[in-house]
Structure 1
């Protein structure tokens, strides 16, 4: 059983592109936030890798990848050693080039709302769903979703100081697309911050700050990986372990701003052994799907995009009777019957 949990913040921009902090400063912020690894994805460059910034820093594993493409079809590449040329119109060429280097990658923000306050309202959506060979998609991009709430300056300031009032749930289009893709292949879900530590200046300079500082973002939407044993002290071995967990979907996504997601578990108990998130199981083994939650939440079992069971609890189980991908969502209860998205598992694939 995968019994060790490690938390990472993926898709971070540093001063090597349009971020506002150095990789050293980002690692220090991640350490203060209590997470274990960060994924640096500066636009179009691997300078951080080539200048020796990858490695252990402040007890945080710093992994340097890249974000590729410009106006649309942004792709997060990891485990590559050379820059991949942008090919915004034909992202399959980018995916193939990453794979040829032995790398892997994720669709960065499949859908966005955009904001009139940023880039003229541009949304950097993924347009080419005819591609293949990618590992997965980011179902929850924290900065992108917060940005979609800021339709004007008053709203932007309001949600900046009252983030609990913002709608931070993953976009329905992204979730629907993920469920659609899962009908034909394995697609790993990750959560990302897309954080730039963006400096903000509003109301004639009376309001100044960052949206959001790196430490804050590292306490929000993260990807939690599960390993069989401790994360190795040797950096190259640790890097391999993290990348293997991401490739195989041995991970879940959680937003810990309002409740800590650490400690969530979802697995199948067949007649013998355990089937983990991202892995294959068989209905012939009479598996029972098990959820353990760190706090009381609405637990939803989802089969092929449809809720098959929901209950408000700290644990739950479900006995599947049909093949296909099974995943779970946890939503925190709020006043007046509302809920807040909290945790999203990767699927268990039953045949």
Structure 2
């Protein structure tokens, strides 16, 4: 949802679970966010950093008002937004249209910085990833190409959710369960094209409880982080946006702390000759 009368276009919002049309509130971002909350929906800032690509007449459609309140989270990694900075010329656009698997490298550094800044301010902000799939049909002289076909995009940057039971009970119950997992931050971003990210877990074990991503845990007596990766690779644990431990060529990682803070992890994988972002967890909040 965005204010279609605004020029230049900015500040898109992803809304889930509201069960009603909310576009009429888009003239004011805070009014829109308040309406989403009232409707019981989730609101995610879409492609918060989305730079221009003048060579293909695409403008900057980043988020502009960071003083608003009430959003659930933000779209940390957006596939189409990452594509735009790669297009330095029409030749680049043609190249990546035919080799889209070479585009993704990770979330925009400014998006990561903004997320860590929000978390450091005491807010709980859930990160999700999205393909922003449009399946554009490109024509340039004799060239015909579907840029980012859906079947490609949906195998690339995805949001994986942790739910308490398998899907299949009924559509309404399953939908509610998935939305609740997103609301709580029980999810992570996975770039599944190089290697499936299914099987990744990050848990924090305290004296009284075990926390998963999105949860809080008491640091009294110490907290043990356990990270399980689907394959051996590079893994970085961050506290308040700063790396505190890096592991290389590991699929199981353990870290013990007594310090409060916001802890999250990033994993990297080598694919097509380049180190690329692979997994970005949501935080565990250690109090």
Conserved 8 A contact 1:255-1:261: yes
Say if 2:164 is the partner of 1:244. Answer: no
2:139 — aligned with what? 201
Q: List alignment gaps of at least 5 residues for structure 2.
A: none
Q: Distance in 1 between matches of 2:102 and 2:159?
A: 23
Shift of 1:333: 3.2
2:216 — aligned with what? 280
Helix, strand or coil at the partner of 2:85: helix
Conserved 8 A contact 2:139-2:145: yes
Say if 2:114 is the partner of 1:177. Answer: yes
Shift of 1:78: 1.1
Conserved 8 A contact 1:69-1:75: no
Say if 2:163 is the partner of 1:227. Answer: yes
Judged with a 3 Å threshold, the aligned counterparts in structure 2 of structure 1 residues 153 and 138 are, in CA distance, closer, same or farther, namely: same
1:340 — aligned with what? 276
Q: Distance in 2 between matches of 1:282 and 1:275?
A: 10
Aligned-CA RMSD value: 1.7
1:78 — aligned with what? 16
Shift of 1:262: 1.0
Conserved 8 A contact 1:278-1:348: yes
Runs (4 or more) in structure 1 with deviation over 4 Å come to 86-89
Q: Distance in 1 between matches of 2:240 and 2:101?
A: 30
Q: Distance in 1 between matches of 2:88 and 2:211?
A: 44
2:50 — aligned with what? 112
Conserved 8 A contact 1:142-1:168: no
Q: Which is bigger in relative contact order (C-alpha 8 A, separation at least 6)?
A: 1
1:30-68 CA distances to partner (integer Å, 9 max, x unpaired)?
xxxxxxxxxxxxxxxxxxxxxxxxxxxxxxxxxxxxx33
Q: Tell me how many residue pairs correspond in the alignment.
A: 281
Conserved 8 A contact 1:110-1:125: yes
Give the stretch that moved more between structures: 280-289 or 125-134: 280-289
Give the stretch that moved more between structures: 78-87 or 144-153: 78-87
Shift of 1:255: 0.7
2:199 equivalent among 253, 263, 280: 263
2:232 — aligned with what? 296
Helix, strand or coil at the partner of 1:112: coil
TM-score, scaled relative to structure 2 = 0.92
Q: Distance in 1 between matches of 2:271 and 2:37?
A: 43
Judged with a 3 Å threshold, the aligned counterparts in structure 2 of structure 1 residues 69 and 89 are, in CA distance, closer, same or farther, namely: closer
Judged with a 3 Å threshold, the aligned counterparts in structure 2 of structure 1 residues 233 and 209 are, in CA distance, closer, same or farther, namely: farther
Judged with a 3 Å threshold, the aligned counterparts in structure 2 of structure 1 residues 116 and 88 are, in CA distance, closer, same or farther, namely: farther
Q: Distance in 1 between matches of 2:149 and 2:100?
A: 14
Say if 2:236 is the partner of 1:305. Answer: no
Judged with a 3 Å threshold, the aligned counterparts in structure 2 of structure 1 residues 258 and 157 are, in CA distance, closer, same or farther, namely: same
Q: Distance in 1 between matches of 2:89 and 2:160?
A: 33
Judged with a 3 Å threshold, the aligned counterparts in structure 2 of structure 1 residues 167 and 104 are, in CA distance, closer, same or farther, namely: closer
Give the stretch that moved more between structures: 265-274 or 120-129: 265-274
Helix, strand or coil at the partner of 1:68: coil
Q: Distance in 2 between matches of 1:342 and 1:156?
A: 24
Helix, strand or coil at the partner of 1:227: coil
Q: Distance in 1 between matches of 2:146 and 2:271?
A: 28
2:3 equivalent among 69, 73, 82: 69
Helix, strand or coil at the partner of 1:284: coil
